[in-house]
């Protein structure tokens, strides 16, 4: 006995694209299948990992924790040429989305002494007072609103609020 089947393919099922377009389409389709939701318990685990990294003074693990939270919250790296030492900075999304406007919150991570700080509220990279504070912080002459583990706890709360705002 012989079985045969016919597969109905129409022109809409066939997509022709170049290498980069194909990879981008595959990436987008794979990403769409992922469940990227998180709970308070998930965030608590991330904070615990960050606490452990801070205690061990592991630059790589602290950086990994920062990367996770900045990705979750759409913080972006910020580069200012006024610093004497290498301080990594991340700024929250702009308050109104326009060029030259203030960023929400500023995170600073200085690898050499493993200092981690966050200043709450608006940060204007063009404002002399804000730039002066960044310079003072990088020299160890100023303190941030939150430091060390407090930074990760604050970021976890922001992430939890963000997920609650998205839910219907």
Divide the 168 residues of the chain into consecutive groups of 10 and give the mean pLDDT of each group. Answer: 54 62 77 72 94 94 94 89 75 72 88 89 89 87 94 95 69
In-domain check, residue 83: yes
Report yes or no on 121 lying in a domain. Answer: yes
Alpha helices in the chain (DSSP H): 19-33, 40-56, 59-72, 128-138, 149-166
Q: Does 31 fall in a domain?
A: no
Predicted pLDDT of residue 97: 61
CA torsion sign for 137, 141, 146, 149 is positive
Angle at 30 between CA 24 and CA 35, to 5 degrees: 135
Q: CA-to-CA distance for 91 and 125, rounded, in angstroms?
A: 10
CB 162 within 8 Å of CB 71: no
Closest CA to 118 of 85, 139, 143, 93: 143
Instruction: Answer whether residue 9 is part of any domain.
Output: no
Structural domain contains residue 54 = yes
- Flag whether 5 is in a domain: no
Strand partners, 76: 91
User: Structural domain of residue 97, as residue ranges?
Assistant: 40-166
**CA-based nearest residue to 51, from 152, 159, 147, 131:** 152
What was the pLDDT predicted at 26? 76
Task: Say what the pTM is.
Answer: 0.74
Q: Is position 10 within any domain?
A: no
Domains identified in the chain, total number: 1
Is 47 contained in some domain? yes
- pLDDT at position 84, please? 58
Q: Contact 54/64 with Cβ under 8 angstroms?
A: no
Q: What is the pLDDT of residue 98?
A: 63
């Amino acid at each position: 006995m012989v079985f045969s089947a016919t597969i109905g393919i129409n022109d809409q099922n066939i997509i022709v694209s170049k290498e980069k377009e194909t990879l981008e389409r595959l990436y987008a389709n794979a990403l769409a299948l992922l469940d990227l939701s998180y709970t308070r318990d998930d965030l608590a685990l991330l904070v615990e990992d960050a606490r452990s990294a801070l205690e061990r003074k592991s630059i790589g693990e602290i950086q990994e924790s920062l990367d996770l939270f900045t990705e979750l919250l759409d913080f972006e790296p910020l580069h200012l040429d006024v610093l004497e030492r290498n301080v990594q900075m991340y700024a929250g999304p702009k308050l109104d989305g326009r060029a030259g406007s203030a960023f929400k919150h500023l995170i600073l991570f200085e690898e050499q002494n493993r200092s981690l700080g966050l200043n709450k509220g608006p940060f204007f990279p063009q404002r002399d007072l804000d730039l002066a504070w960044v310079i003072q912080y990088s020299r160890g002459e100023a303190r941030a609103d939150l430091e060390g583990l407090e930074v990760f706890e604050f970021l976890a709360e922001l992430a939890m609020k963000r997920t609650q705002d998205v839910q219907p």
